[in-house]
């Protein structure tokens, strides 16, 4: 017995840690099926599909006030902030990956700082700035602050992709009569697209899941999904929120799975050609 343990100790340990990682997630999914009428969703009371029904078929999430709006707001915010952040970050990544210039080291450090800064500090300092310039809290302040932390992560993701490309590809294109813009459009952009897309998804996920920055900068009139869940926590979170969380989890998982399958198909196709 001990010999078995010794040999497989590491594997068992790893399995235990993975279980530790997934149990809370599983509980979220499970308690979306909990048969509770009130919002005290901490003890199992039986299985029901009614919350799933109310999210998908009931009007605006079964009339749970604010949940539908909050989800929409989060989606809109994530999409716009990640789109802008991806563009800004990609430009920076192009500069860092393709050119040498003075101040590269400083730029790298400067880009690293947002990732190392506690969200409390970032969120609160931007709030103080908005107060001084007189910009009242709302969707715009939220958008601006989200873009700030997305940029560094985009640079991280895209720069890795750019550095893997042959340095001479752009020169070859210009040698073959493509102008700078044509070179970018037909050579650089298609080749960094996977990295740019991955960066967009990363930014989207970071924005969607953000609580702290939104806590500081959303203001009373705007609510994102995390803010809604937090507020609801005082009164009790309805199982509909679990359902929404589960849907998000499954959909993102599905997107990733499809991406992997699609890429495998591409490689197989190319291998056969």
Partner 1 sequence: MTTTLHEPELARLARRRAMVPYLLLLPGMAWLFAFFLVPILRLIGVSLQSGIYPNYEFTWQWDNYARLWTQYGGQVWNSLRFAFIATVICLVLAYPLAYFIAFRGGRWKNFLLVLLLMPFLMPFLLRTLSWKIILADEGLVVGTLKSIGLLGPNATLLATSVSVIAGIAYNFLPFMALPIYVSLEKLDRSLIEAATDLYARPTEAFRKVTLPLSMPGVVAGTLLTFIPAVGDYVNVLLLGSPNEFMIGNVIQSRFLNVLDYPVAAALSFTLMAVIVLMLIPYVRATGTDDLVA
Partner 2 sequence: MTENGIPAVELDHVTKQFGEFTAVDDLSLSIGENTFFAMLGPSGCGKTTTLRMIGGFEDPTSGTIRLHGDDVTGLKPYRRAVNTVFQSYALFPHMTVAENVAFGLRRQKVDDAEIKRRVGETLELVQLSARGSAKPKQLSGGQQQRVALARALINHPRVLLLDEPLGALDLKLRKEMQIELKRIQQEVGITFIHVTHDQEEAMTMADSIAVMNHGRIERLGSPSEIYEDPRTPFVAGFLGASNLMHGTVSGNDVGLPNGAVIRLTDHQAARCNGHREVQIGVRPEKLSFYGRGTSENTPANRLTGVIADASFLGTSTQYLVEVPGIGQVAVVEQNLGEIHAPGEEVVVAWKPEHTFVVE
Q: Which residues bind partner 2 (CB under 8 A)?
A: 166, 168-169, 171-179, 182, 187, 190-191, 270-271, 273
Closer CB to partner 2, residue 59 or residue 269?
Answer: 269
**100: phi then psi, degrees, rounded to nearest 5:** -110, 135
Check residue 165 for interaction with partner 1 (CB under 8 A): no
Say which entry of partner 1, partner 2, none residue 124 contacts (CB below 5 to 8 A, set by partner kind). Answer: partner 1
Which residue spans within 30-161 are E strands per DSSP?
A: none
Site string for partner 1, 78-107 (x = CB under 8 A): ---------xxx-xx-xxx-xx-x--xxxx
Residue (of 239, 231, 233, 234) closest to 37 by Cα position = 239
Site string for partner 1, 49-68 (x = CB under 8 A): --------------------
Residue (of 224, 227, 204) closest to 80 by Cα position = 204
- Among 159, 199, 207, 238, indicate the residue that binds partner 1 (CB under 8 A): 159
Check residue 127 for interaction with partner 1 (CB under 8 A): yes
- Let me know how many helices (H) and strands (E) the chain has, helices first: 12, 0
6-33: burial string, b at 16+ Cβ within 10 Å, e else: eeeeeeeeeeeeeeeeeeeeeeeeebbb
Closer CB to partner 1, residue 98 or residue 138?
Answer: 98
**DSSP helix/strand/coil, 58:** coil
- Among 54, 81, 145, 188, indicate the residue that binds partner 1 (CB under 8 A): 145
Closer CB to partner 1, residue 23 or residue 172?
Answer: 23
């Amino acid at each position: 017995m001990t010999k078995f343990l010794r040999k497989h100790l590491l594997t068992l340990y790893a399995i235990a840690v993975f279980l530790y990682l997934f149990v809370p997630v599983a509980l979220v999914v499970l308690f979306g099926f909990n048969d509770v009428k009130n919002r005290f969703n901490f003890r199992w009371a039986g299985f029901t599909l009614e919350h799933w029904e109310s999210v998908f078929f009931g009007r605006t999430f079964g009339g749970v006030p604010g949940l539908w709006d909050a989800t929409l707001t989060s989606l809109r915010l994530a999409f716009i902030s990640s789109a802008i952040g991806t563009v800004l970050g990609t430009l920076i990544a192009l500069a860092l990956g393709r050119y040498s210039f003075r101040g590269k080291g400083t730029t790298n450090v400067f880009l690293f700082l947002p990732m190392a800064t506690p969200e409390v500090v970032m969120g609160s300092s931007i709030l103080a700035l908005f107060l001084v310039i007189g910009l009242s809290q709302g969707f715009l302040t939220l958008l601006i602050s989200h873009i700030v932390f997305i940029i560094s992560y985009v640079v991280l993701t895209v720069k890795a992709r750019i550095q893997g490309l042959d340095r001479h590809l752009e020169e070859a294109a210009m040698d073959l009569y493509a102008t700078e813009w044509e070179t970018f459009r037909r050579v650089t952009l298609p080749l960094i697209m996977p990295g740019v897309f991955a960066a967009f998804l990363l930014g989207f996920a970071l924005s969607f899941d953000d609580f702290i920055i939104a806590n500081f900068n959303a203001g009373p009139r705007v609510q994102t999904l995390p803010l809604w869940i937090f507020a609801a926590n005082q009164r009790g979170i309805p199982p509909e929120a679990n359902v929404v969380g589960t849907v998000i989890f499954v959909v993102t998982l599905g997107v990733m799975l499809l991406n992997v399958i699609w890429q495998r198909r591409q490689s197989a196709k190319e291998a056969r050609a």
